[in-house]
Structure 1
Amino acid sequence: MSENLDRVDRLIIDELVSDGRATLATLAEKASLSVSAVQSRVRRLESRRVIRGYTAQVDPEALGRPLSAFVAITPIDPAQPDDAPARLKHLSAIESCHSVAGEESYVLLVRVESPRALERLLQEIRATANVRTRSTIILQTFYDR
């Protein structure tokens, strides 16, 4: 699909990644196109699911979840069904779940209130998905695109 994106499409995408609230007028100015031409391109990118949505980036600390960690999970029994993502989806502290290559099967990004809350979450992850966990606490995030 990326071969179908020209320089202007990429410029529009880069601007929207940087500022999801950028106006069509702003995008038109940066792309040196008319507002209607940019609107047409944005709609096409949305319909092709290149642009999958617009979201607010919220400060986890403001939500009372200052502790972030990566949690790698591995099934205890490799013969069991590989359904950990579905089993864990209801846990709101899990922000994202990624299938990975390597020793672990998945890596989760979690955000919690405290070390004690992380400990409880890890216990729940282990019990719910029948997995082993390995955690890495995030000290600082330099950028998150």
Structure 2
Amino acid sequence: MGLPKTHTLDALSVGRLDHESGDAIVRYPGQVLVVRATGRGSYARTTTDRFGFPRLRRARAKQHFGYVTGDLVRADVPTGKWAGAWTGRISVRARGQHSMATPEGRINVSHWNLKLLQRGDGYGYSTRSEPSESTSRKIG
């Protein structure tokens, strides 16, 4: 087919195509949605030591200040070391000082500076661009 080797284009190429009768790939994706399982937090009631014995009890509440671990949020931090606008997935803390994972790394943000973009459903979503059709013809 002359297409680059990617999972998306492999799935597009599955099946029988009869080139002599005019069968061809009509639409070529420019971007694909990448879905990654991230989980919904831990259901454990205790934290154990290295031998498996309970070390401490965990908080019963999984939601703190209206946020749950895995929510996609936007943080507008006005001052300090992490000043600026950040977007990422949070891990909630009972104190309200949540930990946020961004592409640049982890930062700590207060619940006052957060705005919910998407509720955590156990998956992380992103997009990835596919090689252009013109480059694929040159490669193949």
Between the two structures, name the one with larger relative contact order (CA 8 Å, sep ≥ 6). 2
More strand by share: 2
* Same topology, TM > 0.5: no
TM-score for both structures, normalised by structure 2 = 0.28
Larger Rg computed on CA atoms: 2
TM-score for both structures, normalised by structure 1 = 0.28
More helix by share: 1
